[in-house]
Structure 1
Amino acid sequence: MYKIIIENLYSHEIISSESGCKVIELIHENYIDWMHACGKKGKCTSCKMIVKEGMDNLAPMTDREIFFRERGRLNETERLTCQAKLEKGEIVIRVADVNKFPHMDYSE
């Protein structure tokens, strides 16, 4: 089993039996709004997540993520949900403040 816990959405848990799924797909399949301004193509950083735990449970960074990290748009604890694939176990993530939707209720 694979699990995503979104810490600042009241520790909402997403559980999946599928390996290698992009994080944003698992989030959207569970009817949670998550920013993605470029249509999930890795051309912006609006879908970034802050990874609090489980970074090593994600597939290695993609070329697009490396591109943004080299330009200072992703730090060491951030990944793009449209690029990062959950390969094993569990991750604990947060929605970045800059990417929060005004219509959603976030916890802290």
Structure 2
Amino acid sequence: MPRIVIENLFNRTINSTASKRKVIELIHENGIDWMHACGKKGRCTSCKMIVVEGLENLSEPNERETNYFKQKRLGPQERLSCQSTLDKGEIRIRVAEINKFPHLEYSE
């Protein structure tokens, strides 16, 4: 069963019965605010997530993400939640410091 654990949101856990879903869609469907400035089109990096574990359970980086890796706008453990699909298993992620909302409380 695909699962997302958001570590710095008090280990909030999202279980899904469907695979190959965009990570940001699963997050939003579960009532969690997650930044996305470009309308989930992969034109910015505001929805990036830091993947602590389970990178292998995500889809391969697409062209948009690959360009951001080349530009050093995404690090090796970072992915765009609007472009990545959770194909299987579990991912453990963190909200990047720069993308935290002021109205949410975060854990560390």
Match of 2:28 in 1: 28
Write the letter of the residue equivalent to 1:27.
Answer: I
SS in structure 1 opposite 2:8?
Answer: coil
Match of 2:84 in 1: 84
Match of 2:37 in 1: 37
TM-score where L is the length of structure 1: 0.99
Match of 2:50 in 1: 50
Match of 2:94 in 1: 94
Match of 2:72 in 1: 72
Where has structure 1 moved over 2 Å in runs of 4 or more?
none
Match of 1:16 in 2: 16
Post-superposition shift, 1:107? 0.3
Post-superposition shift, 1:18? 0.5
TM-score where L is the length of structure 2: 0.99
Post-superposition shift, 1:22? 0.3
Write the letter of the residue equivalent to 1:70.
Answer: K
Post-superposition shift, 1:5? 0.0
CA RMSD between the two structures: 0.3
Q: Work out the CA distance in 2 between the residues paired with 1:15 and 1:63.
A: 28
SS in structure 1 opposite 2:65?
Answer: helix
Post-superposition shift, 1:54? 0.1
* CA displacement, residues 11-42 of structure 1 (integer Å, 9 cap, x when unaligned): 00000010100000000000000000000000
